[in-house]
Amino acid sequence: HHRFKRRKFPIPIIMYKYLFCLALIGCACADNINKDAQIRSFQNDATDAEGNYQYAYETSNGIQIQEAGNANGARGAVAYVSPEGEHISLTYTADEEGYHPVGDHLPTPPPVPAYVLRALEYIRTHPPAPAQKEQQ
C-alpha cells in the first residue's frame, strides 16, 4: 500500500504548464494591466480515466487561456494585451519533441543561405556509393 499516488503525466508536460503559468503571472503583474481584473469565465474539466484534461478561462482585462491535453502532449492558446498595448495571440503544442509556440510576435530565424540549400540538394541527389566489402 503506497501513500503517494503515481503521476499520470510525464514531468515535462507538467513543467510546461507551470512555466506557462509563471509567464502568465509575469504578464498579469505588469504595471499597466488592470490589477483589479475579475475572472469572467472559468472551465476546468477534471482528468478522465485516459488522462485527458482541459481548462480555459478569461479575465476582465482581456487575458484568455485555454489548454487541452493528455500524457502524450498538450495544445493550447493564449491571448492578452502587452504592456505596450500590442494584442498578443499565441498557440502552442507541447509533446515529446518539446514546446512549439506559434505567434506573429515571436522572432523568426533568418532564411537558410542559398549555398546551404544548394549543398543540401546536391547531397540529396548524389547519395554516397555503398561501401565495398573487402574480399578475404
pLDDT tens for each residue of 76-89: 999 998 888 889 99
Average pLDDT over the chain reads: 81
The total number of residues shown for the chain amounts to 136
Residue 134 lies in a domain: no
pLDDT for 5 beyond 90: no
Residue 110 lies in a domain: yes
pLDDT in tens, 12-47: 666 666 666 666 666 655 555 567 888 899 888 878
pLDDT for 67 beyond 70: yes
Residue 41 lies in a domain: yes
Number of structural domains found in the chain: 1
| CA dist., res. 104 & res. 33, Å (int) | 21
Q: Each residue of 63-93: b (16+ CB within 10 Å) or e?
A: bebbbebbeebbebbbbbbeeeeeebebebb
pLDDT for 110 beyond 80: yes
Residue 135 lies in a domain: no
Name the residue range of residue 29's domain. 11-125
Residue 87 lies in a domain: yes
Residue 63 lies in a domain: yes
| Beta sheet of 64-70, edge-to-edge order | 39-45, 53-59, 64-70, 73-81, 87-95, 98-102
Residue 84 lies in a domain: yes
Residue 26 lies in a domain: yes
Collect all residues with Cβ–Cβ distance below 8 Å to 33 and sequence separation of at least 6.
27, 61, 81, 83
